[in-house]
Amino acid sequence: MDLTVSLHDLQRAENFLAQGDLETALPMLLSMRDAAEEYIEASCQTTDDTQYFSFADAFERLCYRRVERDPRSLVQVEFPFDHLYSDLAFAYIRQQEYTMARDALMRAVRWNPMNCNYRLDLAELFRALGNKQEWAALSVSVLERAADPVSAGRAYANLGQFFLDEDNTDAAVACVRLASALAAGDQRTTRLVDRLAEEDPAWEELAEDRATGALADQGVPTSPNAEVAICLLMCASDAAKAGDRDEATRLIVRARDLIGEQAAKALIQLIHESDAELAAERAAASETTADAGDVAPADDSASAAPSEEAPHA
């Protein structure tokens, strides 16, 4: 089955949405959604072996594979279904249809589970609908996937508010410190700092190990996920090998901003060493295979038998 909507159609609807013309944008988006779901039903069915996604780039695909550890075959679709559902959610939010917006954003997350902006917006919708536990759970899920410090900082700011609501000031202090380090100028961080200063003026005196320990006791990561930084640096290495130095630099900067310069340098060194070891192993395997090919078989039966000892590159 062919998909009857195009990226150009989506961009037209987004232009109307950006202009605030919901009367034009929403019917277009709904029509595209209906066509997309008919296509998905016919051509993108999830199985035990295969799943379909609309990742933004190779980094998100690699990061999903490493973070989610999904063993299935991942199929990249040509149309950005996640953008369609995100646009639809935005239109519903403008109309204050929060339940419908939540459902649309859940579909956006399904199509691109690595997009942390979707998760943060979805968390806010759950909070608006009175589900604080899901708001907190989605914020934690951002920490496991964040590829930029601002997303991680916003997630910590959410969790700081949540822990203050739960009267867990120690965990909230850890969150505000992490949020301030990652996203100091963000409004969520500022609101958390102001609230904490009002409710506990002496919060800055709390020992770091006590605050961090309280946060860890809640099962919340106390730093962004290093696996994400590794994926950024692996993609940077691939970009450099392909001659795209600008892209390599951009990815390295993202990793450095996420986990810090020293940690990023250590990971880069490990990746270089791993690449060198892999290249050496492949070269050795190629030499061994070539040497084995130079040895004449003793007889016809030996020549016909498959080799069990020749290594594969």
Tens of pLDDT, residue by residue over 165-193, are 999 999 999 999 999 999 999 999 999 99
pLDDT single digits (tens) 289-310: 666 665 545 444 333 333 333 3
Query: Please, what sign has the CA dihedral across residues 10, 21, 186, 159?
Result: negative
Residue 72 CA to residue 265 CA, distance in Å, equals: 32
Of 122, 108, 172, 120, the residue nearest 151 (C-alpha) = 120
pLDDT value of residue 286: 74
Could you read off the pLDDT of 108-145 as tens digits, one per residue? Answer: 999 999 999 999 999 999 999 999 999 999 999 999 99
Q: What sign does the dihedral 279-284-288-294 (CA atoms) show? A: positive
Q: What is the mean pLDDT of residues 66-86?
A: 95
54, 81 in Cβ contact below 8 A?
Answer: yes
Token representation of residue 20: 């605030």
List, as own/partner pairs, every contact residues 49-57 make where C-beta atoms lie below 8 angstroms and the sequence separation is at least 24, other chains included.
Answer: 49/73, 50/75, 51/75, 52/76, 52/77, 53/77, 53/111, 53/112, 53/113, 54/79, 54/80, 54/81, 54/82, 54/83, 54/111, 54/112, 55/112, 55/114, 56/80, 56/112, 56/114, 56/115
Q: Cβ distance 148 to 256 under 8 Å?
A: no
How much is the pTM?
Answer: 0.86
Selection from 26, 73, 84, 64 nearest residue 46 by Cα? 73
Instruction: Summarize the confidence of residues 238-256 as an average pLDDT.
Output: 95
Distances (CA, A) of 230 to 20, 56, 96, 127, 142: 40, 18, 40, 32, 17
Q: What is the H or E stretch that residue 149 is in? A: helix 149-165
Q: What are the tokens at 40? A: 């998905």
Q: Half-sphere exposure of 176 toward its Cβ, with a 13 Å CA cutoff?
A: 23
User: With left for phi above 0 and alpha for psi between -120 and 50, is residue 230 left, alpha or beta?
Assistant: alpha
DSSP 3-state of 72: coil
Dist CA 203 CA 214 (whole Å): 14
User: In the 8-state DSSP scheme, what is residue 52?
Assistant: E
Q: E strands, the chain, where?
A: 50-53, 73-76
Q: How confident is the prediction for the chain on average, in pLDDT?
A: 91
23-32, 151-160, 191-200, 278-287: lowest mean pLDDT where?
A: 278-287
What distance lies between CA 164 and its chain's CA centroid?
A: 27
Q: Give the pLDDT of residue 290.
A: 63
Asked whether 46 and 104 are in contact (CB, 8 A), the reply is no
